[in-house]
């Protein structure tokens, strides 16, 4: 069976394709692949090792040929045509008064399809718009509503860290994120500090979530009462990196308790109850005699 490859397209779309004609391919090579109705242009991402372990919704299509000089000319023409198409489509959107924001357009390599991507707060009836666009471009028109995260991925940009957005590099799947992740990492809940260019919570909040949960499990929960040598107080802060927590006492005094002290106290507590149960058992046994 021909090798299976992952091929990426504009906007970070991805798909699986068979190297049916056994071309010599490497990661980064531009290729022409079989599309639903014609041909499309993509970039080889990597070869898939074992196809049997994949759960594919559709049967993979074929990689038709490597990218040629003729394809480069067509690609250049398509990019300019896509820019012009956005301008015309925006005018038609205004004309029809549709509550939608265009994000980009994409020609299939052979121009058998022209796709417009947009965001909207609700469903949009764009049938009249599609008819107008089809009359202008004489090809198959598709309008695809995408989320704000997908829109940010298509537009590109840099994150608050100064690096290229994760969704534009290695992140291919968006995970659900909640403000609880920020709380567990002791981050400010200021939206401007924990939100990305898309206006949603930063994807990187998920990267260290499991590590924080694992480390926090070694401490009592924040907000619980805790008895120290100076008295009983409330756990106000936990620092998993420096391995300590801060307990606020009733008079406002704050005491720093290290993880070593916490473990020592737990061992002492276990030892106390173990001896207590042992003595109680011995007492019951002696009474029975």
* Distances 53 to 15, 48, 204 between C-alpha atoms, Å: 16, 10, 28
Tell me: do 228 and 277 sit in the same domain.
Answer: yes
* Domain boundary residue, one of 67, 87, 114: 67
Q: Is pLDDT at 288 greater than 70 in this prediction? A: no
Residue 155 within any structural domain of the chain: no
What residue numbers bound the domain in which 239 lies?
223-289
Residue 156 within any structural domain of the chain: no
Q: Return d(Cα 264, Cα 33) in angstroms, integer.
A: 64
* Domain boundary residue, one of 146, 176, 197: 146
Confidence of residue 273 (pLDDT cuts 50, 70, 90): low
* Residues 143-192 pLDDT 10s: 999 999 999 999 899 998 999 999 988 888 899 999 999 998 989 899 99
CB-CB contact of 61 with 17 (8 Å)? yes
Structural domain total, the chain: 4
Residue 198 within any structural domain of the chain: yes
Residue 170 backbone dihedrals phi, psi, to 5 degrees? -105, -15
Q: Token pair of 114, please?
A: 């022209």
Residue 40 within any structural domain of the chain: yes
* Domain boundary residue, one of 146, 172, 198: 146
Query: Looking at the DSSP assignment, which residues form a beta bridge with residue 232?
Result: 227
Q: Return d(Cα 18, Cα 58) in angstroms, integer.
A: 12
* Residues 12-56 pLDDT 10s: 889 999 999 999 999 999 999 999 889 999 999 999 876 656 777
């Amino acid at each position: 069976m021909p090798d299976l490859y992952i091929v990426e397209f504009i906007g970070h779309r991805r798909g699986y394709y068979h190297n049916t004609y056994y071309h010599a391919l490497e990661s980064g090579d531009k290729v022409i692949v079989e599309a639903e109705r014609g041909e499309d242009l993509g970039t080889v991402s990597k070869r898939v090792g074992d196809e049997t372990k994949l759960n594919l919704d559709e049967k993979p299509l074929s990689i038709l040929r490597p990218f040629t000089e003729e394809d480069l000319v067509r690609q250049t023409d398509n990019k300019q045509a896509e820019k012009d198409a956005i301008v015309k489509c925006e005018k038609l959107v205004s004309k029809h008064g549709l509550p939608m924001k265009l994000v980009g357009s994409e020609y299939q390599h052979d121009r058998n399809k022209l796709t417009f991507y947009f965001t909207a707060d609700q469903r949009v009836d764009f049938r009249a718009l599609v008819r107008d666009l089809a009359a202008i471009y004489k090809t198959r028109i598709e309008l695809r509503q995408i989320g704000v995260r997908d829109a940010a991925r298509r537009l590109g940009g840099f994150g608050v860290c100064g690096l290229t957005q994760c969704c534009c590099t290695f992140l291919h799947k968006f995970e659900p994120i909640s403000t609880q992740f920020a709380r567990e990492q002791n981050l400010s809940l200021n939206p401007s500090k924990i939100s990305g260019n898309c206006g949603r919570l930063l994807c990187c909040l998920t990267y260290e979530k499991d590590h924080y949960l694992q480390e926090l499990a070694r401490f009592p929960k924040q907000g619980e009462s805790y008895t120290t040598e100076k008295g009983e107080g409330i756990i106000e802060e936990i620092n998993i990196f420096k391995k300590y927590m801060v307990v606020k006492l009733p008079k406002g005094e704050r005491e720093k308790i290290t993880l070593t002290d916490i473990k020592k106290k737990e061992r002492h507590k276990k030892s106390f109850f173990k001896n207590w149960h042992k003595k109680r058992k011995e007492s019951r046994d002696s009474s029975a005699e």
